[in-house]
Amino acid sequence: MNNAVQIDFVSDVACPWCAIGLAALDQALQSVGSDLQVSLRFQPFELNPDMAPEGADAADYLKRKYGLSPEQLLQNQQNLHARGAELGFQFGTRSRVWNTFDAHRLLHWAGLVDSEAEALAATDHQHRLKHALLQAYHGDGRNPSDPLVLMEVAAEAGLDPEAAREVLASDAYADEVRQAEADWQQAGIRAVPSVVINGRHLIQGGQPPEVFEQALRQIAAKALED
């Protein structure tokens, strides 16, 4: 019986709804438990690819980019905080928007570390790193383009901080990240989070855990019938 499911979680560290989507997906995966053999990979997407190294004021940038009034921005933030709290993610105060390309390079490297690991228990560095990056950015308001922040977050995820420093000090995996971004855009991904199951089934947005669980079970059941 084949109950293996491949999930590609296409997202950006700068996306607050990606924090909500991942928290919901994690709850869904806990619910399905051993019923499915899930392989979860994190794929890059940049909401602000041209963001300068110094970043930008978050409120000004978001109001300008999305045409929001101060009242709309506040309402969106309140909605995010409420949804996050329901799922166990505590949003903090984030005063600036930052470039996330180096964070994506680090995530790509973490995925390679996982793929090279022999023990299954040691192959969740990328998942833990993604959580740590989202917490650092949206929970603690830290700069995910700062190499020192990224090294600390890598260490929190169980990765070698010195190896992380070497990655960040070079252009390692820059081409791979850009190619992956281009591939997902060519596949039609225009917004995040986008959860792609078995390369064919797309779920977008910060959906509730029940939506992810139902989709996973239905897709797995259909695969068994084919």
Say yes or no to pLDDT of 188 above 60: yes
Cβ proximity of 43 and 10 under 8 Å: yes
| Phi, psi for 53 (deg, rounded to 5) | -55, -35
CATH 3.70.10.10 fits 4-225, yes or no: no
List Cβ neighbours of 184 (8 Å cut-off, separation of 6 or more): 10, 43, 44, 45, 194
Instruction: Tell me the pLDDT tens digit for each residue of 101-153.
Output: 999 999 999 999 998 875 444 469 999 999 999 999 999 999 999 999 999 99
Instruction: Tell me the pLDDT tens digit for each residue of 21-60.
Output: 999 999 999 999 888 889 999 999 999 999 998 999 999 9
* 3-state DSSP assignment of residue 186: helix
List Cβ neighbours of 95 (8 Å cut-off, separation of 6 or more): 57, 58, 59, 141
Q: Is the dihedral of CA 38, 85, 206, 8 positive or negative?
A: negative
Query: In this predicted structure, what is the pLDDT of residue 219?
Result: 84
DSSP state of 40: E
Instruction: Tell me the pLDDT tens digit for each residue of 59-69.
Output: 999 999 999 99
Say yes or no to pLDDT of 224 above 90: no
CB atoms near residue 63 (< 10 Å): 15
CB atoms near residue 192 (< 10 Å): 24
Query: In this predicted structure, what is the pLDDT of residue 4?
Result: 84
Largest CA distance in the chain: 54
Domain ranges of the chain: 4-225
pTM of the model: 0.94
